[in-house]
């Protein structure tokens, strides 16, 4: 799979006001993709139990994907939602 295509498809995000700005590292090995991403956003509806206030967040996400026949068949991710919640509450 083309790494730029994988990067574009590998960015799940909460309901932000605009598309999230995402940057990070991407590694492709065979049928596996590993990504370290920085997700940012400004929620426009309740997210993580926090009402929208206009506050933004920036968190790190680590994601692992498996691809078979050009399709994602597995995704595992870890993101620091506690930090996002703290940023949105301040």
pTM: 0.65
- Under 8 Å between Cβ of 61 and 37: yes
- Under 8 Å between Cβ of 8 and 24: no
**Separation CA 66–CA 32 (nearest Å):** 5
Q: What is the pLDDT of residues 55-86, one digit of tens each?
A: 999 999 999 999 999 999 999 999 999 999 99
Nearest Cα neighbor of 89 from 54, 41, 44 is 54
**Separation CA 88–CA 77 (nearest Å):** 21
At residue 34 the predicted structure's pLDDT band, cuts being 50, 70 and 90, is very high
Residue 8 has pLDDT above 50, yes or no: no
C-alpha radius of gyration, the chain, whole number? 14
């Amino acid at each position: 799979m083309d790494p730029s295509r994988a990067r574009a498809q590998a960015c799940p995000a909460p309901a932000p006001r605009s598309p999230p700005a995402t940057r990070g590292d991407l590694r492709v090995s065979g049928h596996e993709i590993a990504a370290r991403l920085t997700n940012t956003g400004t929620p426009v509806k309740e997210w993580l139990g926090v009402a929208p206030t206009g506050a933004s967040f920036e968190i790190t996400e680590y994601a692992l994907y498996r691809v078979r026949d050009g399709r994602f068949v597995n995704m595992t991710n870890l993101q620091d939602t506690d930090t996002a919640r703290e940023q949105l509450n301040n």
